[in-house]
Structures are given as structure tokens and as C-alpha cells.
Amino acid sequence: MIHLSDVKKFERCATFYWRHVHEPIYPKPFVYYNEDLIELVKKRLRITDCFEGKRGDAKEVALAALKEHKVLVNARFVYEDLRIKIPIMIKQAQGYVLYFPYANCYPKESEAQYIKDHLTVLKWLGIPVSAVYVIHLNAAYIREEELCVDALLCINDCLYNAHNRMQHTLDSLLEKCARDLQAVLLAMRHVAALSEQKGERGKNCTRGAKCLYFDRCFQKPQANSILHLVNSAHKGRMEQQGRKTLKEVDLSLLEGNRLQYAQIMADQEGGLFYDRYALSSWLKGSIVYPLSYLDFEWETYAYPPYSGMKPYDVLCFQYSLHIEETKGAPLLHKQFIKEKDCRISFIEKLLADLPKEGSIMVFNMEGAEKLRLKQLAKQYPQYREQLHVVCDRMVDLALPFVSGNFYHIDMEGFYSLKKLVTIFSDFSYEELEISYGLDAVQAWRMLQELDEQTQAVLKEQLYAYCAMDTYAMWIVYHSLLSLVETGCLHKMHIASVNNDA
């Protein structure tokens, strides 16, 4: 059985679709969908009496419901071996009005083809449609004490362009989406029936995010492979030309940014490139003791669960803070974790734990910790001034790596803390019980459902993970200091990592 959602997978990449059929991967969700979208839509449309389809319904079930009900929810229809699900359909004199809900704020114009394919199947089945609307989250909605579905959900006859603007009506977009869906299905059946399907590397392999099946399709390239060249639109073309390593790059096809230069120089210099003067200038000009190393963990909610929050706002539930009073002094460690709506507790303990002066070292601060604090400052204006002062004291440890002032071949085009800590020490996050951010979020989601003993064990694992992030910053920072002072890169030996590091 083919589902219409499979068509999207096939159109992205035939190999992606083949692997989904034969060796599926089910990723952990980055976002927590803390409400049932269909239930919210039913409240928004004042639907109380309806037919509700269920997973696995036989094809006759929804067809029979058309005769008995005015409103159908999640109705499953089948044409030959193609199965579709219509979220909301309401019978009117001229045909059915359809509603397609989206759990995001700006459903894009590319969705018009997906909607059109649904309409095509309904036409094949002889089910008339008089109008189509999309329902999506209102990006400007701010929750009060109770969730207001009328304000949360927008109903539109338009989709959004790449700039999040409504430019064309849905009807006009649908007119341009007519195609031979049967031919697409025929090609999909052919691919699914193959015993093997080899992937060809292209833009879709890494566009937006790396494909789930990337590592199954392609062997891991060597550390100095040209395929690790960052921000390059032509690395695949150069690799096909026989240029396998970074030092073999075709300069005429190079965008020429600083990080690319660092990668090429690292390959030419035996694996390591660093700008000693630039690093020294940054280290001396940016850091004031006492030096704090700070890292947050947070949950992203599709639907605002608490007052003052908007769709896709985050809730910080944990932090780790290592404090170095003077250069080389023993580290003092402070930490926080709490369940449910812990925003005020988070703010107040953070402000109490942070030294009143000195630099606050974070990693990738603009897209992470600083952004989180600015959001909290909007939600709780009584803390705005204090939180903005904290933001002003922040120093971004990612800067030397983003700017190309340091590059090691073993980074393989990445500069995450998990990658860097293996460059500068013999430690690996894989030694921890929780070793990835999404695993930490999943563990936090479970906390409220566990008994006290199990909860305590899981909290210790969460503490260890977050503490490693701030300890890793200490490792990276002091390794850069040592490199500038001695001209040599030495790996630190890490015997063990614990909350009192």
C-alpha cells in the first residue's frame, strides 16, 4: 500500500523512498507536539458530531461514512493501492469543504502539490470538493492562562512563500499542480520492487538537514576529503572530477571564505591550521576572570503549554555552570534541573549562581543561550535588565572555529563540542549514559512519569551530560591557550568526568 506521504519521499530521492520501504528509520522528534492538532482543529471549527477514521480502516469504512455523516475526520480512502487521509471534510450543497491542518506557522507553497494529489484521488473516487482551506498556527499568538484555539489557529485560503508571506491563493497554486499522478505511482511501484537501490550524492542529501539514510548510502569519507569542504556548492562536482582531498580543490570553483581557507591549509600543513596571532588577540581581548562556562538544555513545544509562550517557544529546564575564579584554578560546579514550568526558578537560580562579574563562556551563543535568555526577558520583564546584562557578558567559544582561526582535519567540517572534545582530549561523549541533546530532552520528558528512585538515576545522567558540555568548553578553551603559548597541540587526558569536575 502506498500512502500519499510516500510520494514526497520518492520525489526527494528514489533511494530515500526505497530505504523507507525496506529498512525504515524512525527518528526521535526534535519538537514536542504537546497537543493533538486534530482535537484543536475540531474545537476551532466547533465540530462535536462527526465520523472519525482510525488507522487500518478498511477502504469501505470512509465511503460508507460519507452517506451517514456530514463531517468526517481523518477519513481514509483507497484508490487501487494508494491510500490517503483527509483530515477534515464537511459536506456542503456543492460538495465537500476540506481543511488541511499544519502544526507549523507558515505552511509553504510547495504543499499545494500534496493537497492537489489528495484532490486528484477524491476525484477518481467521485467525491466532489467545493473548497479547500489550510489551518496553521498563529506565530503571533501569546498564550494567557488558558489556551485559546480561536487565536492559536488561523484558517486561510493561501500558503506562504519562502519569505513567510502570503502571495498566491491556494486555488491559483492548485491550478498549477496538475500532473499525471498515475505515472508517479507507477515509478514508485517499480522502485519499491527493486532488490537494491544505490544512492547518488546530490543536494537533497544534505539540504536542510542530513538525510536519515545518508550513512547507509555512502561510505564515510576520509578526514581530509573534499566532501568535507564547508559552504561549497561545487564539492560534489570537484569530487567527480577526481579531486579527492581538500588540498586538491579547484580554486576557480571555490567560494573563498575564511573557513574553507583554513580547511585547505590544514590539509596542506599535515592536519592542523591555526592563526596564532588572531587566536592570541581573541583570547587576550575577550576573556575576563572569573570565567564562567555555561550551557542550557531546553524543550521545544509546538503548542504553547504555559502563559506568556508562543508556538515553538522553548522552555529551559536545565543548566550547567562551571566557574574558574582565576586562570588554572580548580573548577566550581553549579547546576539546575526541574520539571514542568520552571522558568522563574531557572532565572532566579541562574542569576544567584553566576558570578557578578567576569566573562561567561558559551558555545554558539547567538543561536542558543543568548537567544533563550532574551526570550525569558520578554516573558518576565521584571528580570529583563539582569538577563540582558548576562547576555552582554557572554563570549562565544565557537568563534575561533566558525571564523577559520582554527581547523583540524579530524573535525571533518564540523565544530560541535562533541567533535572538538575528541580533538583536544581523549574523552568522548559516547562514554556517557546520555550522549546527545535529543536523548537529554527525551529523558526530561520521562521524568514526571517515573518513581523517585528511577527519577534520581535519570537526573544524575542528565546532570552528567550537561556538565560535560561546560567541562568540554574548559577543555577547548585551555587547549587553545596552550596552543598559542607553546605552538603545540597536546591532547588532555581525562580520567573521569563527574558533576564536581
DSSP 166-184: EEEEHHHHHHTT---HHHH
484, 283 Cβ separation under 8 angstroms: yes
Q: Is the pLDDT of residue 269 over 80?
A: yes
Compute the distance between CA of residue 359 and CA of residue 394 in angstroms, rounded to an integer: 6
Rounded to the nearest 5°, which phi and psi values hold at 453? -65, -45
Give the mean pLDDT of the chain.
93
Average pLDDT over residues 13-33: 92
Compute the distance between CA of residue 466 and CA of residue 351 in angstroms, rounded to an integer: 18
Q: Is the pLDDT of residue 148 over 90?
A: yes
Average pLDDT over residues 213-242: 92
Compute the distance between CA of residue 106 and CA of residue 158 in angstroms, rounded to an integer: 10
Read off the pLDDT band of 500 (50, 70, 90).
very low
Q: Is the pLDDT of residue 111 over 90?
A: yes
> H or E segment at 200?
none
Average pLDDT over residues 156-164: 96
Compute the distance between CA of residue 468 and CA of residue 411 in angstroms, rounded to an integer: 19
Torsion 280-286-287-291 (CA) sign: negative
Higher pLDDT, 500 or 474: 474
Average pLDDT over residues 325-335: 95
Read off the pLDDT band of 499 (50, 70, 90).
very low
Share of the chain above pLDDT 70, in %: 99
End-to-end Cα, the chain, rounded Å: 55
406, 482 Cβ separation under 8 angstroms: no
Rounded to the nearest 5°, which phi and psi values hold at 274? -150, 145
From 15-29, 330-344, 349-363, 442-456, the region with the lowest mean pLDDT: 442-456
Compute the distance between CA of residue 471 and CA of residue 196 in angstroms, rounded to an integer: 45
Read off the pLDDT band of 30 (50, 70, 90).
confident
pLDDT of residue 432: 86
Read off the pLDDT band of 501 (50, 70, 90).
very low
Closest CA to 20 of 191, 240, 221: 191
375, 314 Cβ separation under 8 angstroms: yes
Tally of residues, the chain: 501
